[in-house]
Structure 1
Amino acid sequence: MEKRALYLRKNNKQHKFSGFTLIECLLALLVLSIICLLFSASIKNAVVVTSRLKNEREKEWQIFIIQLESEVKSCHYEKTQSNKIILTNTKNNKKVWIEHKLGKIVKVENGGYQPLLTEVKQAIFKEKGKYVMIEVTFENDVYAAAKWIITGDHKHE
């Protein structure tokens, strides 16, 4: 677009002023408003994605608890350490433990391990009387906790 000049006469002197036309100003406002709309839409989308990820972590936690109960069904409870639960398999009398290792909670048995929960920042196992408290913080700072009750079936006599 061609720049237009505005000439003013004052005391018989000419001054030249450069400026934007009305169409150029309207076009700039249109571009600015589109950028603002896209920015606000991306912020709203980020909030939705964050809440869905949190819900996904809660589902993974519930599945982990169910799977943990299934995995230790044929085991007797021995003891708890800060990062692991030690059990004994009733079928072959070998040690089995559930531990936090390399960002995962895994079941270790016969030299191999099976991941039960991934993307774990911190996991703490605490024995408190008749139950074991499992506290997990995921990498996205979602916190989850559960109590695993030690019944007569699980307790090593």
Structure 2
Amino acid sequence: MNRRMFIRTTLAALAMMALPRSPFAAAEGTTIAPIRKSEDEWRRILSPQQFQVLREAGTERAFSSPLNKEYGKGIYVCAGCQLPLFDSASKFDSGTGWPSFTMPISGHVETSRDFKLILPRTEYHCSRCGGHQGHVFDDGPAPTGQRWCNNGVALKFIPHTPA
């Protein structure tokens, strides 16, 4: 990496840190009551892979989740606490290997900065249990231009049942 590239990368990282939180971040005073469990309680109710993703902010292998190709009508809920996070109408095929959405259900996710890959990314997690879901990027389709890239193991799909 030459000096010019280093300076550009550093300036871009600093500019991203100064950006406001996502417009979809949960509002102050949200009415979703948090769920608090011990690490042992989470280990008892989650599979090892779910625990690694939801509680340790891991990432599942791309193209490994059956939810990546799920396009039925319904709701995607947090695998840890069942809070609805995404409506199927916002799902799209991003080609990345993970279920992707244009927007979450308002107030049901919270965002934070993640520096695990050195450059900052916006991580999001369930507003109720704090379970890590994935990251949001600004390379998605209309109407939001965002790609909420989710670990499939962190979600459960509940199909719509006609009345």
TM-score class, shorter-chain normalisation, is: under 0.3
Give the number of the structure whose alpha-carbon radius of gyration is greater.
1
TM-score by length of 2: 0.26
Higher RCO, 1 vs 2 (CA within 8 Å, ≥6 residues apart):
2
Structure with greater strand percent = 1
TM-score by length of 1: 0.27
